Amino acid sequence: MLELKTLREDPETVRQALRRRGWNSTRLLDDALALDQALRARMTAHQELLARNRKTAKDVGRLMRSKQFAKAEEAKATHAGLKQQIRLAAHDEDSAREALIDILMMLPNVPHPSVPQGQFASHNQVVRQVGELPAFGFKPKPHWVLAERLHLVDFARGAKTAGAGFPFYVGAGARLQRALIGLFLAEAIRAGYLEIQPPLLVNEVSARGTGQLPDKEGQMYHLRDDDLYLVPTAEVPLTNFYRGEIIPEDSLPLKICGHTPCWRREAGSYGKTVRGLNRLHQFDKVEIVQVVHPDKSYAALETMTTYAEGLLQMLKLPYRTLLMCSGEMGFNQTIQYDLEVWSAGQDRWLEVSSLSNFGTFQAERLKLRYRPQSGGKPQLVHTLNGSALALPRIVAALLELRQQADGSVSLPACLSRHAGMGESWTLRP
């Protein structure tokens, strides 16, 4: 959620930001500003009534104690009707606040000035591309063919048991999953992140805290009986770990990581781009989260991006780093990098990581602040996160890139070690 202070003091910046994101109308913004005015007037009115109420109550108490009961009754009588007025004033205030918050919740974050202007994927800026695209002496197969032939993934039985998008990973396939998770966690820990194993269900307040609600309502699986959501990403529980806290400045940055399955309904997705491991309802991911001082968040994002790229380099996967344009980046982000690996069998790029700086956008909702070392009021922190990394498309890219003419796939040494397979691990049909 945008800070009201920003909106009030510099509405033009927000108006520009909305336009950059492709919002043709800034009417919501004008409504918010008007409601903010109204709210403050109503608050003042309400508070004046409360002050009067309190004063009368004290007078009555004083009279009662000095046994001037008649005068006390008199004071009570002058009080008549005040309660109803207070009730009305409170209601007016509440309704103004609710209306304002409803609008604020709909306003996206302000893009950082360095974010390229644009509406479409073609406007995303390729910051760098690393690794050679492979040349094959045969036509490389897509991963779903390889995965079936190598008996790594069972899509059909997954569909039977749960539905499309819920595959079984079998034998070496399951082992490969574990090896990737193990590798990614070990590297994150080595980079100074505290490993956390979070709840896989979160309540509504948490989902609002990181901005999944109301923006992504309908994309999360919702357990109606208990009003809980299956996590769409570890970002939600990991960032909420600190919700409502005031962190001493010298404890910043907080760096945490965790592996979770991620559940996404992916309502509206269909076709070739969702084939195989490309887009699933359940997938595994290791997430990194940082809570940092506002002055250091943009530098932190660069570090996190470099870190995630390092994982791709370890796996020897060709990739490119995109700086997302204003219209393509997420609702909550001020700036966002996506990492894409080359899919040799599909002849296209696959997104395997998204790294973002949220500025104070999540912190405002989370009430997550730090106490300045110099003293003074608590200030909102900046929060960041990134996938490091999401598994299915890594598996897809590994299989497609490293396939041999005979259908076998040999995995990089860093993975075979984590799988407990020594220095080399070759999957054979």
Partner RNA sequence: GGAGGGGUGGCAGAGUGGUCGAAUGCACUGGUCUUGAAAACCAGCGUGCCGUCAGGCACCGGGGGUUCGAAUCCCUCCCCCUCCGCCA
Provide the residue count of the chain: 429
> Which of 88, 126, 205, 246 forms a contact with RNA (CB under 7 A)?
246
Chosen residue from 378, 407, 413, 421 binding RNA by CB under 7 A: 378
Please provide the distance, in angstroms rounded to a whole number, between the alpha carbons at the two ends of the chain. 51
Nearer to RNA (CB atom), residue 40 or residue 160: 40
Question: 236-264 burial string, b = 16+ CB within 10 Å, else e?
Answer: bbbbbbbbeeebeeeebbbbbbbbbebbb
Q: At closest approach, how far in Å is the CB of 30 from RNA?
A: 18
Is 53 a binding residue for RNA by CB under 7 A? The answer is yes
**Which position among 13, 27, 57, 316 is part of the footprint of RNA (CB under 7 A)?**
57
Only one of the segments 101-109, 133-141, 370-378, 406-414 lies at the binding site for RNA (rule: CB under 7 A); that segment is: 370-378
* Residue 40 touching RNA (CB under 7 A): yes
Task: DSSP letter for 403, please.
Answer: B
Check residue 373 for interaction with RNA (CB under 7 A): no
Cα 300–chain centre separation = 16
- Residue nearer to RNA on the CB measure, 189 or 246: 246
Rule CB under 7 A: choose which of 15, 19, 76, 243 binds RNA: 76
User: Is 371 among the residues that bind RNA (CB under 7 A)?
Assistant: yes
- The C-alpha atoms of residue 211 and residue 427 are separated, in whole angstroms, by 41
Q: Is 369 in the site for RNA (CB under 7 A)?
A: yes
Closest residue by Cα to residue 193 from 201, 202, 184, 180:
184
From 42-50, 106-114, 124-132, 276-284, span contacting RNA (CB under 7 A): 42-50
Kindly compute the dihedral angle of the four CA atoms of residues 89, 93, 99, 100, in this order, to the nearest 10 degrees: 160
Of 39 and 390, CB closest to RNA: 39
Instruction: Please tell me whether residue 191 binds RNA under the rule CB under 7 A.
Output: no
User: Judged by CB under 7 A, which of 56, 95, 129, 303 binds RNA?
Assistant: 56
Structure tokens, 38: 């109204």
Q: Are 291 and 253 in contact (CB under 8 A)?
A: yes
- Residue closer to RNA by CB (options 143, 369) is 369
225's enclosing H/E stretch is: none
Among the residue ranges 43-51, 155-163, 279-287, 308-316, the one whose residues contact RNA (CB under 7 A) = 43-51
Query: Per CB under 7 A, which of residues 169..188 are in contact with RNA?
Result: none
The alpha-helical segments, DSSP class H, found in 223-366 are 235-240, 297-314, 361-366
Span of 50-58, 128-136, 161-169, 282-290 interacting with RNA by CB under 7 A: 50-58
CA distance 147 to 367: 45
Does 98 engage in binding with RNA (CB under 7 A)?
Answer: no
Residue carrying the six token digits 């970002």: 235
Cβ nearer to RNA, comparing 55 with 160: 55
| Residue 194 binds RNA (CB under 7 A) | no
* 3 state SS for 84-131: HHHHHHHHHHHHHHHHHHHHHHHCCCCCCCCCCCCCCHHHCEEEEEEC
Report the residue number, 48 or 302, with the smaller CB distance to RNA.
48
Q: Which residues contact 281 (CB under 8 A, 6 or more apart)?
A: 162, 163, 164, 165, 166, 263, 264, 265, 266
Applying CB under 7 A, the span of 16-24, 57-65, 107-115, 158-166 interacting with RNA comes to: 57-65
CB of 5 to RNA, least distance (A): 7
The answer to whether 176 and 411 are in contact (CB under 8 A) is yes
**91 touches RNA by CB under 7 A:** no
What is the C-alpha separation between 270 and 179, in angstroms, rounded? 30
Q: Which of 311, 200, 298, 208 is nearest to 253 (CA)?
A: 298
Phi, psi of 320 (to 5 degrees): -135, 150
Q: Which of 28, 38, 64, 421 binds RNA (CB under 7 A)?
A: 64
Interface residue with RNA, options 9, 24, 25, 65 (CB under 7 A): 65
Q: How far is the CB of 307 from RNA (least distance, A)?
A: 32
**Which positions lie near RNA, rule CB under 7 A?**
4, 40, 43-44, 46-48, 50-51, 53-58, 60-61, 64-65, 76, 79, 83, 246, 369, 371, 377-378
